[in-house]
A and B are shown apart, each in its own frame.
Chain A
Amino acid sequence: DADVTQTPRNRITKTGKRIMLECSQTKGHDRMYWYRQDPGLGLRLIYYSFDVKDINKGEISDGYSVSRQAQAKFSLSLESAIPNQTALYFCATSEMRTGLYNEQFFGPGTRLTVL
């Protein structure tokens, strides 16, 4: 979805390096999410945020941190990257105002390789 952008799209880094993945959205949504996708495991939630002051851990938050700089921006950081963090990372957004069952809209993904 072009309304949700992620940078970079691809990144190769070395073990121990700090990495930041950025997500921006123009949909005006309150909620933002970070997932990682691994083959055969589907998508797993890393962190989610309801607004700038509300950030919550997902099921696999260890080794990751996030920052919600503005309603439209949600960054994911790997403080010290390790090889098993090699994965495809997705940012997603959803709207909160109109109910509890709104679908999420996904960015194009960032393919991260940690050597």
Chain B
Amino acid sequence: AQSVAQPEDQVNVAEGNPLTVKCTYSVSGNPYLFWYVQYPNRGLQFLLKYITGDNLVKGSYGFEAEFNKSQTSFHLKKPSALVSDSALYFCAVREPASNTGKLIFGQGTTLQVKP
């Protein structure tokens, strides 16, 4: 069965430092991978996705993610964190063999960026 794991409940980073939010997945075949961000009292917003091609994917707000097939990982990164990046981040995977469009979400990682 497909699954997604976000091993860290919370990540703390100082403003201006690089940040990484980790995600690993388990899926049969080649995965479709997504990152979403949830700000307080808001719905989830799409950040970026990996479908195929270049392993480094660039998304909204300066975020990027690196797909690593051998490590089954899709870590979210940003070179220089902002206080406004503080939010809850979700990794999600979609099984390519399925036509349903269903996403399986990780449990979420809270990112705290301190001034």
Contacts and interface: CB of A to CB of B under 8 A. Distances in A.
B interface SS class: loop
Given A1-B43, A40-B107, A109-B43, A103 B102 contact: no
A42 B102 CA distance: 14
A106 interface: yes
Given A45-B102, A56-B100, A106 B45 contact: yes
Contact of A104 (B99, B101, B107): B101
A105 interface: yes
A100 interface: yes
A92 B49 CA distance: 17
Interface in B65-115: 90, 94, 96, 99-103, 105-108
Interface of A: 1, 4, 31, 33, 35, 40-45, 48, 56, 58, 90, 92, 94, 96, 100-109
16 contacts: A1-B43, A40-B9, A40-B108, A42-B106, A43-B44, A45-B102, A90-B43, A94-B101, A100-B32, A100-B99, A101-B96, A104-B101, A105-B46, A107-B43, A109-B42, A109-B43
